[in-house]
Amino acid sequence: MNSKGIGKVDHFVGVASGKGGVGKTTVAINLALALRKENYHVGLLDADIYGPNIPVMMGLSEKPKIEEGAIMPLKKFGLKVMSFGFFLEANQPVIWRGPLVSKAIAQFLNDVMWGELDYLVVDLPPGTGDPSITIAQQIPDVSIVIVTTPQEVALADVRKAITMFGEMNVKVLGIVENMSYFQCSHSEEKIGIFGKGGGENLSRQMDIPLLGAVPIDIELRKGGDEGIPLMADKEDSETGKIFKAIAKNVVELEAD
């Protein structure tokens, strides 16, 4: 049944990190698709108002329609998708201050025709600071998936982010280590370009489950650039299987 807002959304999963460029949007999109492949009804909300990347990475450029006072999400690869980027002209910067961002997020939660969803995956903006926390607090009972790379500078920022979410009583569900290793197709060897074991150590130290480790995969980057995410057409690849396992872990932890 169609209904406006998030009243019929069962689970909210926010994808965050302490650092920019570690692969939040990539993880958010492919996690949403992996959940969809498990037959869940899934929405994807781009809460990165200043740098919305979901339109390009999902290959979407139409403007959403307004029907009976509700914003209709776009549909692609079986997901309902909403992004502030759908309302911007190409290359148009957003120079709003915090309160306006909060208002926009509230509108995306309350005025979009999300309907019945098992999961709404939210791509949060980069950084540990105010924007990501404020937005996370606007989402009822959100569970945060933290994305990190294995390198020490990323991990340091992620520790800070986890502590901050904790202090604000926002639940951190687990960690995804992205760009974990590179495996050349001619060899079994996994090369730790950004270091090794960082996600595991962090998981142990902070007592937060490691949901999975995603390799550096050219197909992931290509998928993002071309607007056809890896999980949309390569779910049986090694990386696809890893995203499926991450989705299963999220489902299990959310069921607890």
Site residues for Mg ion per CB under 5 A: 24-25, 53
Nearest residue (CB) to ligand ATP, 70 versus 213: 213
Query: Which x/- pattern over 109-128 shows residues binding ligand ATP (rule: CB under 6 A)?
Result: -----------------x--
By CB under 6 A, name the one of 6, 9, 22, 45 that touches ligand ATP: 22
Told to check if 149 binds ligand ATP by CB under 6 A, we report: no
For residues 137 and 7, the answer to whether their CB atoms sit within 8 Å is: no
Neighbours of 40 (CB within 10 A): 17
Closest CA to 18 of 249, 250, 178, 138: 178
- For 213, which DSSP code? E
Cβ neighbors of 242 (< 8 A, separation 6 or more) are 212, 213, 214, 215
* Strand pairing report for 117-123 and 66-67: unpaired
Q: Which does 128 bind (CB under 5 to 8 A by kind): ligand ATP, Mg ion, none?
A: none
Q: Which does 148 bind (CB under 5 to 8 A by kind): ligand ATP, Mg ion, none?
A: none
For residue 197 the two structure tokens come to 């074991």
For residues 83 and 125, the answer to whether their CB atoms sit within 8 Å is: no
Told to check if 177 binds ligand ATP by CB under 6 A, we report: no
CB 115, min distance to ligand ATP, A: 26
Beta strand spans in the chain (E): 9-16, 42-46, 66-67, 70-71, 74-76, 79-83, 117-123, 142-148, 171-183, 190-191, 210-216
Q: Which span (14-22, 64-72, 153-161, 198-206) binds ligand ATP, by CB under 6 A?
A: 14-22
Q: Which does 73 bind (CB under 5 to 8 A by kind): Mg ion, ligand ATP, none?
A: none
Closest CA to 31 of 44, 50, 47, 18: 44
CB 241, min distance to ligand ATP, A: 14
For residues 253 and 209, the answer to whether their CB atoms sit within 8 Å is: yes
Q: Which does 30 bind (CB under 5 to 8 A by kind): Mg ion, ligand ATP, none?
A: none
CB 53, min distance to Mg ion, A: 5
Cross-strand partners of 44: 81, 121
Told to check if 41 binds ligand ATP by CB under 6 A, we report: no
Q: Which does 26 bind (CB under 5 to 8 A by kind): Mg ion, ligand ATP, none?
A: ligand ATP
CB 1, min distance to ligand ATP, A: 33
- Site of interaction with ligand ATP (CB under 6 A): 17, 20-26, 48, 51, 53, 126, 178-179, 214, 216-217, 220-221, 224
